[in-house]
Chain A
């Protein structure tokens, strides 16, 4: 930790940084207005899959970068799970060194173009910004600037490939190619390891591909980031399920020394209420996978999907917002969110809720489904809802929803997407008998090294957390890569 602080100080005291700070008085900087993200018209975008946020133009990004005070104590970094050198990359944008800004981002973040789009910045870096903390003003738009630098580099056609240490020929495996796995793979490659990423699906990217829709995170962009990782020497094996296609022991015999498991929170949760297995009722995982990964909405592809005119999405998280906005884009007249608490308790990013409202999504907050009713063909046609009110805060710190007796009523629906969370994927715990797991099925790890009860196996992301964000998963991946590096080096020295 000391090292990092010293490093940041040394970086900050470089001549160019000091010179940039002097260009403008702090008072002038704080009087500037935060930039607004240009967005696609809500009535246009809710009928297609174009990206909602259009990204900043260079002059907008430079103007926003001027607001940053380049604080002596950059609290924003403490809010970043992967520890990006935030003031440095922002000041690089201020001096129009966009390529340099992208390099700074990639020092600690394998997927800047992704994080600039999907991170809940308002709960992380931007929450810890001096503007938010001390000035009571809108924070620096760190997320928009991150996205800007990453996009600029990609569009320039000259993607920088992060430097890697000399190849040490030691084989390590990464299980799962979602954000946790990619972050771990990126760092392991930087340490010089021979990294192979194993993916169960036919495409690399995990939740970035099957889960997050095109209008929020274009797939093409994920592919570009993965291509960069390939250039770093990382190998990808799709259609490969570790524990099934080959066991950990098989892979160890092939020379793999250690593994990072980032297999994600695979199993969708349902509410176990009557009628939940009717046709037309999906988990958000199924609904989004059919559309995002399998392209079911396109006639050219073979995979079908049912998406009706009256769509109810149960839940208040980011996945629920992604599902309901997808339903609207597939032609729903009424696309509704049904959530048992109020908007203040919603786990979704503020921007997603705002975008959903602009696009005409109906919010039925403080409502909970009790039962689904079927038509003569086994397809859902109605749902019985109950009104809720908020009581005292529960273990999660959010106010507990309490049913209001006698408030039940029935509405028409022809499609329902259940988005009430996920459970850890059981494939890996099932494949390793002596792996310690919690009652929830998450893998138990040392929080500093992410090492599991099986010494050569490290884990992170949703398989450890049970359901979190892209960036927390990436933070775990980085931490685990450092833990694996230490473990392998110690093992070599011991021999």
Chain B
């Protein structure tokens, strides 16, 4: 019996040493917060990424051995604690799995920071319009713009009150925050574009950022185009590797095919072919739906 136990310890020690030499750094979840039923904030251990990331950067996440690789924009980082913050909306299998993970769980792969960082400089007044979970990647941009000396007006838009996120954090770095909900359950009733027009008609806006669902960015871009206000959008296309290798994220920008992962994720919103992007986002709609139904059965079972 004793011998067997000694052997068992040796065996475990061997695995420990082997894992150490594999140098596989897994990311542990340190904090979890529900913004709403389907929107979750996760704080992960990722010291290297926390140190080098800048606003606009994203990471690629793979939950486990059989998981897919998905891009998620970094919404905050703490260099001292060595953590990054991601905000995830439950839409498919992988995002649902992420939302169901708990403090102490580990994510197998987190790689980054990827993409080209946001170009931040002092331009005057900047209007930042975030829709749904698009508010999360907007947060470091708002913070950066404010610190660069800009007047920052932030619009937070969502279908209803429970989907408005990060309001307090946004207020900290914004000169003004306008909340818009489709159903009027919080803030002003109306679409994000109504809030944007209100600001544009009221004062001179030098630059605009729109981040959110593709359809929201499309109409946000059309709105600012009418007034000739330079506008940046952050695109959330399908990706596999995230380093320029696969081309899954490609989309026409000003008539030329560009890769969101290395050339973006931010582009001149007036040049983006949003219709093409929306079609491409739906490439796996059927497979995704089927897989999600199957996943729901396993979770409920």
Per the 8 Å Cβ criterion, residues 71-90 of B in contact with A are none
Decide if B110 is an interface residue (CB 8 Å cutoff). Answer: yes
0/1 interface trace, chain A 264-285, chain B, CB 8 Å (1 if under): 0011101010001111101101
Decide if A440 is an interface residue (CB 8 Å cutoff). Answer: no
Decide if B131 is an interface residue (CB 8 Å cutoff). Answer: no
Question: CA–CA, A115 to B131, complex, Å?
Answer: 52
Question: Which of A276, A277, A303, A425 contacts B68 (CB under 8 A)?
Answer: A303
Decide if B276 is an interface residue (CB 8 Å cutoff). Answer: yes
Given contacts A202-B108, A202-B111, A239-B109, contact A378 B245 (CB under 8 A): no
B247 touches A245 (CB 8 A): no
B280 touches A277 (CB 8 A): yes
- Among the 9-residue stretches B180-188, B214-222, B249-257, the one with 4 or more Cβ atoms under 8 Å from chain A is B249-257
A236 touches B23 (CB 8 A): yes
Given contacts A240-B111, A241-B114, A302-B93, contact A285 B246 (CB under 8 A): yes
Binding site for B on A (CB under 8 A): 200-202, 210, 230, 235-241, 244-247, 250, 266-268, 270, 272, 276-280, 282-283, 285-286, 289-290, 294-295, 300-304, 306, 377-378, 425-427
Decide if B291 is an interface residue (CB 8 Å cutoff). Answer: yes
B257 touches A238 (CB 8 A): no
Decide if B2 is an interface residue (CB 8 Å cutoff). Answer: no
11 further A-B pairs in the complex, CB-CB below 8 A; given A244-B114, A276-B257, A286-B248: A200-B111, A201-B241, A210-B241, A244-B112, A272-B257, A285-B247, A295-B66, A301-B67, A302-B93, A302-B291, A303-B68
B263 to A, closest residue via Cβ:
A426
B94 neighbours in A (Cβ, 8 Å): 302
Question: CA–CA, A230 to B21, complex, Å?
Answer: 8
A306 touches B52 (CB 8 A): no
B92 to A, closest residue via Cβ:
A302
Per the 8 Å Cβ criterion, residues 224-250 of B in contact with A are 240-241, 243-248, 250
Per the 8 Å Cβ criterion, residues 18-40 of B in contact with A are 21-25
Per the 8 Å Cβ criterion, residues 252-287 of B in contact with A are 252, 257, 259, 262, 276, 279-280, 282-284, 287
Question: CA–CA, A235 to B93, complex, Å?
Answer: 34
Question: Which of B246, B257, B283 contacts A289 (CB under 8 A)?
Answer: B246
A200 touches B243 (CB 8 A): yes
A379 to B, closest residue via Cβ:
B283
Question: CA–CA, A279 to B94, complex, Å?
Answer: 21
A278 neighbours in B (Cβ, 8 Å): 279
B245 touches A268 (CB 8 A): yes
B259 neighbours in A (Cβ, 8 Å): 267
Decide if B189 is an interface residue (CB 8 Å cutoff). Answer: no
> Which of B240, B246, B248, B288 has most chain A Cβ within 10 Å?
B246
With both chains docked as a complex, state the minimum distance between the C-beta of A457 and any C-beta of chain B, in angstroms: 19
B21 touches A277 (CB 8 A): no
Per the 8 Å Cβ criterion, residues 106-122 of B in contact with A are 108-114
Given contacts A202-B108, A239-B111, A304-B288, contact A427 B243 (CB under 8 A): yes
Query: What are some 21 contacts across the A-B interface (CB < 8 A)?
Result: A244-B113, A245-B48, A245-B52, A267-B247, A272-B257, A277-B252, A277-B276, A280-B283, A282-B247, A283-B247, A286-B247, A289-B240, A289-B241, A289-B245, A290-B240, A294-B240, A301-B67, A304-B287, A304-B288, A306-B287, A425-B244
Question: Which of B62, B262, B287 contacts A426 (CB under 8 A)?
Answer: B262
B68 touches A294 (CB 8 A): yes
A237 touches B23 (CB 8 A): yes
B67 neighbours in A (Cβ, 8 Å): 301-302
The 5 closest A-B CB pairs, nearest first, are A378-B279, A286-B246, A304-B287, A239-B111, A283-B247
B247 neighbours in A (Cβ, 8 Å): 267-268, 270, 282-283, 285-286
With both chains docked as a complex, state the minimum distance between the C-beta of A308 and any C-beta of chain B, in angstroms: 13
Question: Which of A200, A300, A425 contacts B66 (CB under 8 A)?
Answer: A300
With both chains docked as a complex, state the minimum distance between the C-beta of B128 and any C-beta of chain A, in angstroms: 25
With both chains docked as a complex, state the minimum distance between the C-beta of A108 and any C-beta of chain B, in angstroms: 26
Question: CA–CA, A285 to B247, complex, Å?
Answer: 8
Question: CA–CA, A294 to B291, complex, Å?
Answer: 16
A241 neighbours in B (Cβ, 8 Å): 111-112, 114, 243
B283 touches A279 (CB 8 A): yes
Question: Which of B25, B48, B241, B284 contacts A200 (CB under 8 A)?
Answer: B241
Question: CA–CA, A425 to B246, complex, Å?
Answer: 11
B25 neighbours in A (Cβ, 8 Å): 237, 239
> Which of A278, A286, A289, A378 has most chain B Cβ within 10 Å?
A286
Binding site for A on B (CB under 8 A): 21-25, 48-49, 52, 62, 66-69, 93-94, 108-114, 240-241, 243-248, 250-252, 257, 259, 262, 276, 279-280, 282-284, 287-288, 291
A304 touches B291 (CB 8 A): yes
B111 neighbours in A (Cβ, 8 Å): 200, 202, 239-241, 245
Question: CA–CA, A266 to B242, complex, Å?
Answer: 11
With both chains docked as a complex, state the minimum distance between the C-beta of A102 and any C-beta of chain B, in angstroms: 24
B240 to A, closest residue via Cβ:
A289
> Which of A276, A277, A301, A306 has most chain B Cβ within 10 Å?
A277
B93 to A, closest residue via Cβ:
A302
B295 to A, closest residue via Cβ:
A302
A200 to B, closest residue via Cβ:
B243
B282 neighbours in A (Cβ, 8 Å): 279, 377-378
With both chains docked as a complex, state the minimum distance between the C-beta of B77 and any C-beta of chain A, in angstroms: 13
A302 touches B66 (CB 8 A): yes
Question: Which of A240, A377, A426 contacts B244 (CB under 8 A)?
Answer: A426
A230 neighbours in B (Cβ, 8 Å): 21
A301 touches B280 (CB 8 A): no
A244 touches B245 (CB 8 A): no
A303 touches B69 (CB 8 A): yes
With both chains docked as a complex, state the minimum distance between the C-beta of B123 and any C-beta of chain A, in angstroms: 25
A301 neighbours in B (Cβ, 8 Å): 66-68
With both chains docked as a complex, state the minimum distance between the C-beta of B211 and any C-beta of chain A, in angstroms: 21
B279 touches A266 (CB 8 A): no
Question: CA–CA, A210 to B279, complex, Å?
Answer: 26
With both chains docked as a complex, state the minimum distance between the C-beta of A438 and any C-beta of chain B, in angstroms: 18
A283 neighbours in B (Cβ, 8 Å): 246-247
B262 neighbours in A (Cβ, 8 Å): 267, 426-427
Given contacts A238-B24, A245-B49, A304-B284, contact A277 B250 (CB under 8 A): yes
A233 to B, closest residue via Cβ:
B21
A276 neighbours in B (Cβ, 8 Å): 257
